[in-house]
Amino acid sequence: MSAPDLPFSGPDLHLSGVVLPEGEHRDLWVRDGRLTSEPVPGAETVSRGGWLLPGLVDAHCHVGIGRGGVFVEDRAGLREQALAERDAGVLALRDCGSPVDTRALDDEPDLPRILRAGRHIARTRRYLPGLAVELEPADLAAEVRVQARRGDGWVKLVGDWIDRSVGDLAPEWPADVLAEAIAAAHEEGARVTAHTFGTDALPDLVRAGIDCIEHGTGLTEDLVGEMATRGTAVVPTLVNVENFPGFAAAGEARFPTYASTMRRLYAQSGAVVRAAYEAGVPVFAGTDAGGGIEHGRIADEVRALCQAGLPAEAALAAASWSARTWLGLPGIEEGAPADLVVYDADPRADLDTLTRPVLRVLRGRVV
């Protein structure tokens, strides 16, 4: 469950501008932290003539993992990560797995909302050391229930990783175990997502009813067709896929097959995203910040999605209103908590505008 709304105190606000996604010029007020189209006498006008977007979403990041994979557990360090996202206009994060308990951040009204997936769950010695709960298949469903209760509606599996005995990416879980684990999460009211780079893990994950695929560079035409039918989403994390040639080079000497797989996946990554989008798979923007990637790069991910072939407005939706709907967060609507970002130009016309938010309103306050 996500955190309840924090007690509100702050002035009433007035904004006017072009509200997206509708694209209509409107006046909006914020009273007691919530949006209304009813004029509020005495409200302070904080913005006129801009473009107003529902608060951006980074749909795949990690708060609590710092540069080089170190755990960040001090409040100042955690705040710094969350504030880097907020400065970029990101007012909600889907945390795709953190070894650190960041729950105390929910009490800080100036920080973005965080929807957590608990800790990653991986097969023994089949993920980055120390990050995941590592276990064998027989224990997967029970651990999924534990992480579902720890999180805010998501559970994160590691679906594939290098198998050193094979020398290449390989699936981590048998199909029957995945089906049982995903059903267990759904019973707990949580959705499930999985890290996958390669192809072989995907058919079993998708057929087991998984809700989302992270990275998904190994998706094929058949798989995107099946995902579109089922409504399974993908968060391509193209900012992170830029690291694949580096992963390949690092593995080259010991694992040449893995290295060539990573190069092939890198080469096809843009085409995969375009194919998924064109097939009707819901595509969302996530940077995979935390660890090797700095927080606050949502604009880079949106531009990368557009370069891969999404229309600019769809790439924008993937980081704003569509992502919010997918995560159960409201947009700019009557009575909703006021979480919005203002730009001084139309970001649909030029996605570079996203790098320059001029105002952020979070939980009804200018931050």
The distance of closest approach from Cβ of residue 214 to Zn ion in the complex, given in angstroms and rounded to an integer, is: 6
The distance of closest approach from Cβ of residue 216 to Zn ion in the complex, given in angstroms and rounded to an integer, is: 12
Comparison of 212 and 341: residue with beta carbon closer to Zn ion: 212
Q: At what angle do helices 298-308 and 256-279 cross, to 10 degrees?
A: 80
The distance of closest approach from Cβ of residue 59 to Zn ion in the complex, given in angstroms and rounded to an integer, is: 11
Of these, 172, 204, 288, 339, which contacts Zn ion (CB under 5 A)?
288
The pattern of x and - marking residues 93 through 112 that bind Zn ion according to CB under 5 A reads ---x----------------
Of the candidates 55, 43, 50, 27, the one whose C-alpha atom is nearest the C-alpha of residue 331 is 55
The distance of closest approach from Cβ of residue 356 to Zn ion in the complex, given in angstroms and rounded to an integer, is: 26
Comparison of 15 and 132: residue with beta carbon closer to Zn ion: 132
Cα within 13 Å of Cα(64), Cβ side: 23
Stretch that binds Zn ion, among 132-140, 280-288, 302-310, 318-326 (CB under 5 A): 280-288
Comparison of 96 and 210: residue with beta carbon closer to Zn ion: 96
Stretch that binds Zn ion, among 92-100, 117-125, 137-145, 172-180 (CB under 5 A): 92-100
Comparison of 226 and 288: residue with beta carbon closer to Zn ion: 288
CB-CB contact of 298 with 56 (8 Å): yes
Comparison of 287 and 353: residue with beta carbon closer to Zn ion: 287
Comparison of 20 and 234: residue with beta carbon closer to Zn ion: 234
Stretch that binds Zn ion, among 33-41, 88-96, 131-139, 354-362 (CB under 5 A): 88-96
The distance of closest approach from Cβ of residue 288 to Zn ion in the complex, given in angstroms and rounded to an integer, is: 4
Stretch that binds Zn ion, among 3-11, 105-113, 283-291, 339-347 (CB under 5 A): 283-291
The distance of closest approach from Cβ of residue 41 to Zn ion in the complex, given in angstroms and rounded to an integer, is: 47
Comparison of 61 and 148: residue with beta carbon closer to Zn ion: 61
The distance of closest approach from Cβ of residue 195 to Zn ion in the complex, given in angstroms and rounded to an integer, is: 7
The pattern of x and - marking residues 249 through 268 that bind Zn ion according to CB under 5 A reads --------------------
Q: How many residues bind Zn ion (CB under 5 A)?
A: 2
Q: What is the 3-state secondary structure (H, E, C) of the chain?
A: CCCCCCCCCCCCEEEEEEECCCCEEEEEEEECCEEECCCCCCCEEEEEEEEEEECEEEEEECCCECHHHCECCCHHHHHHHHHHHHHCCEEEEEECCCCCCCHHHHHCCCCCEEEECCCCEEECCCCCCCCCEEECHHHHHHHHHHHHHHCCCEEEEECEEEECCCCEEEECCCHHHHHHHHHHHHHCCCEEEEEECCCCCHHHHHHCCCCEEEECCCCCHHHHHHHHHHCCEEECCHHHHCCHHHHHHHHCCCCHHHHHHHHHHHHHHHHHHHHHHHHCCCECCCCCECCCCCCCCHHHHHHHHHHHCCCHHHHHHCCCHHHHHHHCCCCCCCCCECCEEEECCCCCCCHHHHHCCCEEEECCEEC
Comparison of 214 and 339: residue with beta carbon closer to Zn ion: 214
Stretch that binds Zn ion, among 90-98, 132-140, 163-171, 322-330 (CB under 5 A): 90-98
Comparison of 20 and 202: residue with beta carbon closer to Zn ion: 202
Q: Name the residues that contact Zn ion, by CB under 5 A.
A: 96, 288
